[in-house]
Amino acid sequence: MTSVRTEAASPIIVFDQVRKVFAARRASPEVGAVNGVSLSVAAGEIVGVIGRSGAGKSTLIRLVNGLEKPSSGTVTVDGTAISALDERGLRAARRSIGMIFQHFNLLSSRTAFGNVALPLEIAGRTDEIRQRVEMLLDLVGLADKRDRYPAELSGGEKQRVGIARALATAPKVLLSDEATSALDPETTAQILALLKRINRELGLTIVLITHEMAVVKTVADKVVVLEAGQIIEEGATFDIFAHPQHPTTRSFVGSVTGSALPEDIRARLKAAPSPGGQAVVKVVWTGEQSGDRALGQLARDLSIDIALLHGQIDSIAGRPFGTLTIAIPGDDATLRSAVETLTRDGLHTEVLGHVA
């Protein structure tokens, strides 16, 4: 299978030292929503931008299509400095930048067909409407719902209309601001699969903004973690999940990979070992190794009983990924030799603490 990645190395979106400060207003103080972001998105890539509420995600994405102007720095899309365009230039540039939203933002007075047709009407491309809208509704799997009004569609169907509308003017970039946050997990998975297919088939670059790590796990090639308007970590999706560095990234990742300890175990953790107690160790392994086999071997080699406290085996960006938290009985020497053995087997280990 080949994907449309002819320009994978050339960036299509570039943020250069971008700051966005919202001026103080009456009771509200000045807010630095984006505080010095430099970022490069390669053409054909799916980038997930994750951060907590208020981190600056929506502001960041609105800077891409010029809905916000940077206070300083530049935003370039497909070679055009968005921040320097006038209204007329912006209107033209926005035709190559589609956007989808959490609450779909469909016109309730228009059918699915009418909503998808709107951007083409505005662009004065009326003679293409019929053929193009039908093709797009077909692409998102809604050919049979073309005459339904938004009130007659499910959430997932409404978002499919939103996606078809965003694609109407054949954009090069699709921006998604929490587009799956109002949907149930199953519908979310279907919408993400659709976005992935569109990315592959049309070579469309996608920037996905979300507060849910589970959303980026399967579809994003790259993950950017945003906190207080700054990038605190970025990298290939698998690496971010396998070896998160920043505490915020760790807490995001922990919620979906099973690496976050259940509260009852966390509450019992002590920094120092106690006689007759156990060490609590997190073991992480990826595609190539078999963690469960290595742990079985370890128990036999050291003649110890390893207790499984918590964990899961999952798939991140298409690669197997396992996280297990185990309790190892015995003294310091046993723990050291266990960690050495596991490390030698290529597993990543971390001693979280000790329980009595």
**Which residues sit at the interface with ligand ADP, rule CB under 6 A?**
22, 31, 33, 51, 53-59
Which is nearer to ligand ADP, 226 or 324 (by Cβ)?
226
Which is nearer to ligand ADP, 58 or 349 (by Cβ)?
58
Which is nearer to ligand ADP, 58 or 248 (by Cβ)?
58
Which is nearer to Mg ion, 28 or 131 (by Cβ)?
28
Looking at residue 95, what DSSP letter applies? T
Furthest C-alpha separation in the chain: 81
Work out how close the CB of 50 gets to Mg ion at its nearest, in angstroms, rounded to a whole number: 12
Separation between Cα atoms, residue 102 and residue 247, nearest integer Å: 27
Work out how close the CB of 58 gets to Mg ion at its nearest, in angstroms, rounded to a whole number: 3
Q: Whose CB is nearest to Mg ion?
A: 58
**Partner touching 59 among ligand ADP, Mg ion, none, CB below 5 to 8 Å by kind:** ligand ADP
Smallest Cα–Cα separation from 6: which of 202, 224, 279, 175?
202
Stretch that binds Mg ion, among 52-60, 69-77, 181-189, 299-307 (CB under 5 A): 52-60
Residue 109 CB neighbours (<10 A): 9
Q: Is residue 336 within 8 Å of residue 349, measured between CB atoms?
A: no
Indicate whether 58 belongs to the interface with Mg ion (CB under 5 A): yes
Question: Which helix (H) or strand (E) covers residue 344, if one does?
Answer: helix 332-344
Which is nearer to ligand ADP, 71 or 334 (by Cβ)?
71
Stretch that binds Mg ion, among 29-37, 50-58, 97-105, 109-117 (CB under 5 A): 50-58
Work out how close the CB of 48 gets to ligand ADP at its nearest, in angstroms, rounded to a whole number: 13
Task: Specify the residue for token string 């796990």.
Answer: 217
Indicate whether 259 belongs to the interface with Mg ion (CB under 5 A): no
**Partner touching 31 among ligand ADP, Mg ion, none, CB below 5 to 8 Å by kind:** ligand ADP
Instruction: State both tokens at 7.
Output: 């320009």
Work out how close the CB of 190 gets to ligand ADP at its nearest, in angstroms, rounded to a whole number: 24
Looking at residue 289, what DSSP letter applies? S
Instruction: State both tokens at 269.
Output: 């953790």
Which is nearer to Mg ion, 57 or 132 (by Cβ)?
57
Work out how close the CB of 266 gets to Mg ion at its nearest, in angstroms, rounded to a whole number: 30
Which pairs from 195-203 meet CB under 8 Å and 24+ separation? 195/46, 195/163, 195/219, 196/46, 198/139, 198/163, 198/167, 198/174, 199/44, 199/46, 200/3, 200/4, 201/4, 202/4, 202/167, 203/3, 203/4, 203/5, 203/6, 203/43, 203/44
Which is nearer to Mg ion, 57 or 282 (by Cβ)?
57
Work out how close the CB of 209 gets to ligand ADP at its nearest, in angstroms, rounded to a whole number: 7
Indicate whether 180 belongs to the interface with Mg ion (CB under 5 A): no
Work out how close the CB of 298 gets to Mg ion at its nearest, in angstroms, rounded to a whole number: 45
Q: Is residue 76 within 8 Å of residue 43, measured between CB atoms?
A: no
Would the CA dihedral through 231, 232, 234, 237 be positive or negative?
negative
What residue ranges bind Mg ion (CB under 5 A)? 57-58
